[in-house]
Structure 1
Amino acid sequence: MNLIYTLTLNPALDYTVFAEGLTVGAVNRAGGFSVSYGGKGINVSAMLKNLNVPSVALGFIAGFTGDELEKLLLNVGINSDFIKLKSGITRINVKIREKSETDINAQGPCASADELNLLYKKLNKLEHGDWLVLSGSIPSGMPSDIYARLSEFAEKRGARVIIDAAGRALTDALYTKPFLIKPNREELGDIFGEEISGISDAFFYAERLKAEGAQNVMVTLGGEGSALICKNGERLYCSAADGAVLN
């Protein structure tokens, strides 16, 4: 059975505060709060868990917040195989939810060269047909082309790579011919310095990313749904499901 590994280089604890009538510069009382796991790769593992598909969440954690993150995943049955950093703490992202949501995202700890080598040792377990999902931001101090390096490493082992990242973290990895990349509307626009005004624009610029190496390109467009260009050139569109935004 082929395995799915998700990699979150910069995981977080998400601390959400529910506030009413927030006043900047004054003492405010929270109507409640919640603490949950955060990080795009971890969220992929969580969704796979909801679909009864097993995965292994990889990444770096540190300090007491890293311990709490690992415990939260264990409590919901998500398998993890994190590397515990010797210094720092896993970041805490603060989300203030009033009429809208305000996010304050912290910097995460950076892995040393030796700790990064431990990650490669874990990825040596990849076998032909396995999946590796590279998703989320890259901690400061880590090589900006780390996704390219990891994708190339995984591809050489016969694994299929999915990349969900922004800017150079994504474009630098295109030469490795990842199986799928998934920029959103804003990320796609930033890459080309253009505004993505609709589905036709999404397909046009997705084709350009495919021409640079990606086998399949999916662009998520929020309430407008998703546009997918397949390896064989087929274009597919999926409308967004109805529902309230929770996170």
Structure 2
Amino acid sequence: MIYTITANPSIDYVLQLSQLKSGSINRAIDDVKLPGGKGINVSRILQQLGLDSTALGFIGGATGTFFTTLLSAHQLQTDFVRVKDDTRINIKLKTATEETEINGQGPAITTAEKQTFLEKLTPFTQGDVVIMSGSLPRNLDNNFYLEIAQQITQQGAEFVIDTTGQALLDTLQLGPLVVKPNHHELAELFATTFNNLDDIIQAAKRLLQLGAKHVLVSMAGDGALLVTEKHAYQCNAPHGQVKNSVGAGDSMIAGFVGTYMQTHDLQESFHYGAACGSATAFCEDLATLSDINEVYQKITVTQLQ
């Protein structure tokens, strides 16, 4: 079973504008409300791939109830912890040329609410994969993901972490199945700059040396890399109009992990992960299976090392 953890889910209120005028009244030409959060995005793409997952996290207040209503349309299996404070609302303002985001803080999690959540992690066993991603709500410190990773590995399950900075580095010693920084995050992680592709590959190998089993590096228009203990692969970025940068990385993780659990074929997992990520980038919302399969045909994976 695959589990996704979204500690700080959101209602994403997406407003389409002809133009954004700061300090003035702006009127939307279209709007949509979506269930948001990186782990939620992963679960939704896994569903498109025909794979079951259970979405875990914290929801609360009237917005939490509305979030559950929005999510019910996607028929995902969930097991959220109800908290006192409200689930956040994120506002995304889109024009033809740019996107502006205003993200809420999220609820303040009490000690009792955190403990209730941790108790939901006890069923994990060998063969399970837990995907942790996204920001943390108030009162949860940067050790939260590390604490979960320790519990997961003690129970024999695998974990994937999609975060950056020290929170990522702290979990590497526990051997995450895959980590996915973009090339900017990877450079920042090691306080360096990259002059060429080989520099990026060498930095990814440092993550392997620190404990990661596989490293995905997204590089926007330059495609993506998969670096493993034995090989390095690159895929191209297919041509298309980018409409949604928010869920592309989550979709890539879903495609990679979902395919890997079925096939244990790293190259095919990378290929399908890249297809999921690019397909979502070309959609207003997350990609559908037909979108993914269409983009898959436009991607070529090349072994570099």
TM-score, normalised on structure 1? 0.93
Q: Is the 8 A contact 2:110 2:139 kept in 1?
A: no
Query: Which residue does the alignment assign to 1:36?
Result: 34
Indicate yes or no: 2:206 matched with 1:208.
yes
**1:217 partner amino acid:** V
Equivalent residues of 1:148, 1:173 under 8 A apart = yes
CA RMSD of aligned residues (A): 1.4
Q: Tell me how far apart the structure 2 counterparts of residues 123 and 195 of structure 1 sit (CA, whole Å).
A: 39
Match of 2:262 in 1: none
1:197 Cα deviation from its structure 2 partner: 5.1
Aligned to 2:278: none
Deviation at 1:72, TM superposition (A): 1.6
Structure 2 residue 87 is matched with structure 1 residue 90:
yes
Which residue is equivalent to 1:178? Answer: 176
Residue in structure 2 matched with residue 27 of structure 1 by the alignment: 25
The AA in structure 2 aligned to 1:45 is S
Q: For residue 4 of structure 2, what is the aligned residue in structure 1?
A: 6
Q: How far apart are 1:118 and its partner, in Å?
A: 1.3
SS at match of 2:11: strand
1:240 aligns with 2:237: yes
Aligned residues: 243
Contact preservation (8 Å) 2:222, 2:236 = yes
Gaps of 5+ in 1: none
Q: Percent identity?
A: 37
> Which shifted more, 40-49 or 113-122?
113-122
CA distance in 2 between counterparts of 1:13 and 1:199 reads 38
SS in 1 for 2:173: helix
Structure with a larger share of its residues in helix: 2
Which stretches of structure 1, 4 residues or longer, exceed 6 Å deviation after superposition? none
- The answer to whether the 8 A contact 1:148-1:174 is kept is no
Greater strand share, 1 or 2? 1
- 2:136 aligned residue (135, 138, 151): 138
The corresponding residue for 2:197 is 199
CA contact (8 A) 2:39 2:132 kept: yes
Aligned match of 1:121: 119
Distance in 2, matches of 1:110 and 1:39, equals 17
What corresponds to 1:109 in structure 2?
107
Q: Secondary structure at the match of 1:117?
A: helix
Unaligned 5+ residue runs, structure 2?
245-305
Q: 2:157 aligns with which of 156, 159, 163?
A: 159
Deviation of the 1:156 alpha carbon: 0.9
Deviates more, 1:236-245 or 1:157-166: 236-245
Cα offsets for 1:174-226 (capped at 9, x unmatched): 11111111111222122112234553232111111111111111111122121
Aligned equivalents of 2:43 and 2:197: distance in 1?
28
Aligned partner of residue 176 in structure 1, secondary structure: coil
The 10-residue stretch of structure 1 (159-168 or 189-198) with the greater mean CA deviation from structure 2: 189-198
| 1:221 aligned residue | 219
Deviation at 1:245, TM superposition (A): 2.0
Could you tell me whether the CA contact under 8 Å between 2:180 and 2:215 is conserved in 1?
A: yes
CA distance in 1, matches of 2:49, 2:100: 30
In the superposition, relative to structure 1, how do residues 109 and 198 fare at CA in structure 2: closer, same or farther (>3 Å)? farther
Which range moves more in the overlay, 77-86 or 236-245? Answer: 236-245
Distance 1:238 1:33 in 2: 34
Deviation sequence 1:109-160 (CA, Å, 0-9, x none): 1321111111221110111110100111122321211111111110111111
Instruction: Name 2:14's counterpart in structure 1.
Output: 16
